[in-house]
Amino acid sequence: MSTKPKTLQQAIVHFANPDNCLNFMVKLRWPDGVVTCPTCGREDAVFLLNQRKWQCKSVHDHRQFTVKVGTIMEDSALPLDKWLVAIWMIANCKNGISSYEVARALGTTQKSAWFMLHRIRLAMQTRSFLKLGGPGSEVEADETFVGGAARFMHADKHKRRITETGTKDKIAVQGILERGGEVRAAVVGNRKKHALQSNIRAHVKAGSAIYTDALMSYQGLKEKGFEHKVIDHAERYVDGQVHTNGLENFWSLFKRQLKGTYISVEPFHLFRYLDEQVFRYNFRELAHDGLRFEHVASHILGKRLTYAEVTGKVGATPSLPN
């Protein structure tokens, strides 16, 4: 078969061979073929065939290293075949994939699968310093609240989470969509003017046409250099080109993922699931023949997420992306 699998079945068969896994990771980490010690940078490490790792000729701590070092897989006891198939699964599933399903498919514990998926979501996270829009561009901005419906909650969870009616116990999320381009979304502290407009100024070029709903927090965008137009949803949802239907579509897909696949998501981890859906939306035109898998795999380098961090034992709260 081809060296590049194009279906999940081919990926499982291909990566069942440890040599294929190792060769894929070596090519990913060291495209020029020169294996470099991650500690000292020496380029003549010796490959220990029986251990399937390298040993640096210089004497220092961590002189032996594997292809996992310096990636999201670092310090993981799970073999590469399980990691690579898991990346394939989450990158190509339309509505995400639960840790229970991954655990059953790969033969791991649910706890290990859950931790693995969070680390893969870190690789799916995209951050860019380039702003969206510009003169002549159309950008939608909208916000939504994420949280379970109180009527479906168990009594104990209802007592813990729901303290008032309305949106108080839900999490505010803002999205910015450039029509014909990409979407960016982030968890925001609230829907106040400073929070929402600061996010817009950070991600959208001045001179862009920005379409929002009639929320008072968006007033004043014209003074900030934007061509701001409002659609009042109490009257209509579309007025020519002025609407936020693109983001409404994104919110629909995001909430379908949360409610249909992940069922219950803690606010602490919400931004990770948001990163996953942003990736899926922005690369929706990318074929399912291995390109999505390769894109995610190419971003596993230089990223690390420990179990202490993902469970909240290090630091008070995770940093929320801008």
Between CA 112 and CA 294 the distance in angstroms is: 23
**What's the whole-number mean pLDDT along residues 118-141?**
92
Q: What's the pLDDT at 129?
A: 85
Helix H or strand E encompassing 251: helix 245-257
- Percent of the chain beyond pLDDT 90? 79
Instruction: Supply the pLDDT for residue 39.
Output: 93
Contacting residues for 44 by C-beta, under 8 A, at least 6 apart: 57
Query: CB within 8 A of 175, min separation 6: which ones?
Result: 140, 141, 142, 143, 144, 183, 184, 185, 247, 250, 251
- Residue 153: the pLDDT is 59
Write down the mean pLDDT value for the chain. Answer: 90
Whole-number Å distance between alpha carbons of 80 and 73: 9
Per-residue pLDDT band at 152 (split at 50, 70, 90): low
pLDDT digits (tens, 9 = 90+) for 247-297: 999 999 999 999 999 988 888 999 999 999 999 999 999 988 899 999 999
The per-residue b/e assignment along 262-280, b for 16 or more CB within 10 angstroms, e otherwise, is beebeeebbbbbbbbbbbb
**Rounded distance between C-alpha atoms, residue 64 and residue 45, angstroms:** 9
* DSSP single-letter state for residue 294: H
According to DSSP, the β-strands at 227-230 and 171-178 are unpaired
What pLDDT, in 10s, does the model give residues 16-65? 999 999 999 999 999 998 999 999 999 999 999 999 999 999 999 999 99
All structural domains of the chain with their residue ranges: 1-33+68-125+281-322, 138-265
Fold of 138-265: Nucleotidyltransferase; domain 5 (3.30.420)
Alpha-carbon dihedral 218, 220, 224, 229, rounded to 10 degrees:
60
Total number of residues shown for the chain: 322
Which residue, 51, 19, 3, is CA-closest to 290? Answer: 3
